[in-house]
Chain A
């Protein structure tokens, strides 16, 4: 199973997780893990998700999530897990 990492960074506001999760649910993207911190009022979230059941191409999901982020004023990024695994795991 190829996992994807979604990160959300920006000023904390109501409903960030709700909006992102609604989008993921509507596109049959399964959330495997969520972690979140707030550093100096800045919202910082990471999700590990499984996109295998989603019929949308990766590029579209990435663009649409970025678009949702723009609407709420945060940066949403969608990246294959491999880049983090190769950098941080031997």
Chain B
């Protein structure tokens, strides 16, 4: 039987160490909504989302209450709109209409984000996908809850450099279109290499075409829990350190698995995956950078950071994988700058640079995330940063992503304020040498030799 110490341990994690389930994300296929009439298409999409997700928020709240665990976000991901709108949309503005429909449907069911305003263009772009990409600045500046993502490359296909070049410009245009709110639109836009079909986390969540009609994916969190438990093993060997992280990750993930199972049962929608991620928030103590410090660094970014992060990421996976029947999504440690107070402190102390963050993305779960850069950074430089990150993902057969925010009207030393879960970010310097001639080359980078496994 459960004893009082176990009960207290769990409740302390929830109350004092910010243990929560970060998101229940309901993936909805919109493939059966497709028609060549835009009016009909938007009606179908609205109907499908508001019917399938009708009870999502209420069920989430019931689970929170019964188990006493906060579920911070309830979200929806849909089939990439680049596919769904291909037949009906004749212009980028037609796609913006679908974005507005998604926004209305999300508001109606009470979720806080809807992802899937996306295009999968790892090898090439269809006309429709190019139109969707060109509509992103307007779509993100005229909606509140819509998140957008574009997959630009994969280990199997190589990198679509035409799309990388285009996305550099689109990020600049999105920043410009939302400059009144410190270019917040860019916080809802992410580019990927090897994007997973079942990611529950925003801004990159979409419901892949390999998925069922509807599915429940859950993202757990818990940097504060890992941090607290590591305080008890200061000075111990790597073996003790790793075992401690593993056991904690197991416990955290079990909660995610429980919540996923309950949500699936109550909504009568199949369970997809648990994403075992250490996802930080700006709350004090809920920081991945603080864990790196607890492992033994003065600040995130100091020599040893990449090794410490590699160790952390691997132990989180090893502990979590046994705790869940299906693991997927991004799974690992997230290292966003603006959403993690320890990362912000490291940047402000001069310890963490864009180049070190790039190295860290080789061993963490995703990539360059929520990084504010000067508003006058050129589109080709942004494309260059994206290309570097895509290359890391392609060669290392992992998911990588870029979510950069060129803050219009601000420069190094100033801050971008986003508010809420998105936090604030000190603007980081970017290498000023040009890569324009490289980015202006047409076509794609071929897939690496080790992708030919057949």
A residues whose Cβ falls under 8 Å from a Cβ of B: 5, 7, 33, 35-37, 44-46, 48, 58-59, 62, 77-88
Contacts and interface: CB of A to CB of B under 8 A. Distances in A.
B98 interface: no
A79 B1 CA distance: 15
A86 B257 contact: yes
Contact of B258 (A48, A77, A83): A83
14 contacts: A7-B11, A44-B4, A46-B7, A46-B8, A80-B66, A81-B2, A83-B69, A85-B2, A86-B257, A87-B6, A87-B10, A88-B2, A88-B9, A88-B251
B251 A79 contact: no
Given A7-B7, A46-B7, A86-B255, A58 B1 contact: no
Per CB-CB distance, the 9 closest pairs between chain A and chain B, nearest first, are A79-B68, A83-B67, A46-B4, A86-B254, A86-B258, A88-B6, A84-B2, A87-B251, A35-B4
Contacts of A79: 66-68
Contact of B255 (A7, A59, A87): A87
B47 interface: no
B2 A44 contact: no
At the interface, is chain A mostly helix, strand, loop or mixed? strand
A84 B258 contact: no
A87 B4 contact: no
Given A79-B68, A80-B66, 5 more contacts: A36-B4, A46-B8, A48-B1, A83-B258, A86-B258
Contacts of B68: 77-79, 83
Nearest to B69: A83
A79 B68 CA distance: 6
Contacts of A36: 4
B4 A80 contact: no
B224 to A, nearest CB: 15
Contacts of B388: none
Nearest to B322: A90
Interface of B: 1-4, 6-11, 62, 65-69, 251, 254-255, 257-258
Contacts of A33: 1
Contacts of A48: 1-2
Contacts of A59: 62, 65-66
B266 to A, nearest CB: 13
B10 A58 contact: no
Of B6, B69, B251, most A-chain CB atoms within 10 Å: B6
A17 B3 CA distance: 18
B22 to A, nearest CB: 16
Contacts of B254: 86-87
Contacts of B10: 83-84, 87-88
Contacts of A86: 254-255, 257-258
Nearest to A45: B4
A3 to B, nearest CB: 9
A56 to B, nearest CB: 13
A59 B67 CA distance: 11
B4 A83 contact: no
A16 to B, nearest CB: 15
Nearest to B259: A83
A44 B4 CA distance: 9
A83 B255 CA distance: 6
A55 B69 CA distance: 24
Nearest to A58: B66
Contacts of B2: 5, 48, 81, 84-85, 88
A45 B6 CA distance: 12
B233 to A, nearest CB: 20
Nearest to A46: B4
Nearest to B254: A86
A82 B1 contact: no
A72 B2 CA distance: 26
Nearest to A81: B2
A35 B255 CA distance: 24
A44 B12 CA distance: 13
B67 A82 contact: yes
Contacts of A87: 6, 10, 251, 254-255
Contacts of A44: 4, 8
A25 to B, nearest CB: 22
A37 B11 CA distance: 16
A20 to B, nearest CB: 15
B255 A37 contact: no
Contacts of B66: 58-59, 62, 79-80
B65 A62 contact: yes
Contacts of A83: 10, 67-69, 255, 258
Nearest to A88: B6
A40 B219 CA distance: 37
A79 B2 CA distance: 13
